[in-house]
Structure 1
Amino acid sequence: MTRYLTTSAAVASLAVLFACSQQTSNAQEEAATPPPEPTEAQDQIPDDAGMDGPKSIPSMMRATGDLMGVDGNTIGSVNLIEGPNGIAMNVSIEEGSLEPGWHAIHLHQTGDCSDTGEYKASGGHIGKIEGGHGLLNPDGPEKGDLPNLYVAADGSVEYETFTNLVAMSDILDDDGSAAIIHEGRDDHMSQPIGGAGARVACAVIE
């Protein structure tokens, strides 16, 4: 027997087909639509943010001092900053201040440069070890030992070094400390100061 759909049944079938076609079209349009741009708040989330939030930078202690030459006049500056792995130290000296060539530089026990030109009031090196001076010494080094600095032909210096031998708490203790520059270079082995000679510049670090 041949059956025919009634008018109402045909209309219902067409409606179902139209609805399915419309859903397919909407899905295709949504798939083609690019994702929304990140908001300003999302842009500010650091890449290393995790379950515990963004990593924080530890606070860093700073210290500074004015370098005085053999006549007591200021010839430059010393700046130190302590990070999680040690201390970065920068020395800047004006033209005509020191003899060109290599010079030893050490951190000394006492923040006193009052004996102008001698600078022995600054005491010995921080963390002095009897027989242990020198970065190459198997019995050392002392906390105040540093690599040599080089003075340019015009008598100026731009020097940066790093040390993890000493902490800022040693430098900024009750009696302070001093940065001392010597007339010659440190051989990092001879006692007690590596054969560096007289003290020609001093800075109280505070």
Structure 2
Amino acid sequence: MLDRFAIGLFALSLAACSQEAAQPQELPAEPLPTPAEMPGPDEGVYPSMMQSSISIIGAEGSEIGTGNLIGGPNGLLIRVEIAPGGLTPGWHGLHLHAVGDCSDVGTFKLSGGHVGKVEGGHGLLNPKGPEGGDIPNIWAAADGSAGYEAFTTLTKMSDLQDEDGSALLIHEGEDDAMTQPIGGAGARVACGVIK
């Protein structure tokens, strides 16, 4: 009889504990502000707007275009302009690389791997990724010129302006957003150090 009583008492105490655990946590006295209530440019409050300019060189070592990066509170705005004749027409993979070195003109291997490299995680469509350096492809027109603007939340300016800097790389072909390690984009044909 005592055993049944002890088991019943134990079951009751477990039920009481589980009831306590299921109670919602108490909310703060004042609710968090909505985005509309947050201060912004109208009130003189701006994001850090860290900027970086890029001179993009081609496989021959001459400048073929420029880039500009602006750091915002939720990511990074990237703008690239390539002059006529700078690229072959069509799609090209575009990535952010971990080392700010384009001195090995023609191969650009000194720029290292992608920012935020994840083994087996390359590609914007990859369930194991994406990596911080993955950004959408760039399209070059029939005359080899290109204009590009994209926003990424995968990395931030402080990640790019670390001790060894970083680089923006353009590949000879398009990145399929899945294939390892660079989406099948082929050789590196242009490079720009992010300053």
| TM-score, with length taken from structure 2 | 0.78
String of CA shifts for 1:112-144, please: whole Å, max 9, x gaps: 001000000000000001000000000000000
Q: 2:68 aligns with which of 74, 79, 93?
A: 79
Superposition pairs of residues 117-196 of structure 1, within 5 angstroms? 117-196=106-185
Residue type matched to 1:169 in 2? S
Q: Which amino acid aligns with 1:56?
A: V
Task: Give the C-alpha shift of residue 59 in structure 1.
Answer: 2.5
Quick one: which of 93, 96, 100 aligns to 2:89?
A: 100
What pairs with 1:16-31 in structure 2 (closer than 5 Å)?
none
Report the equivalent of 2:10: none
For the residue of structure 1 that corresponds to 2:110, the secondary structure is helix
For residues 43-87 of structure 1, the C-alpha deviation after alignment (integer angstroms, 9 at most, x for no partner) is xxxxx8x9xx93522331001110000000001011000111111
Structure 1: distance between partners of 2:165 and 2:78: 16
Aligned letter for 1:112? D
Deviates more, 1:56-65 or 1:170-179: 56-65
Bigger radius of gyration = 1
In structure 1, distance between residues paired with 2:95 and 2:61: 19
Partner of 2:17: none
Q: Secondary structure at the match of 1:91?
A: strand
Distance 1:63 1:118 in 2: 23
Q: How many pairs are equivalent?
A: 157
Q: After TM superposition, which residue ranges in structure 1, 4 or more long, deviate above 6 angstroms?
A: none
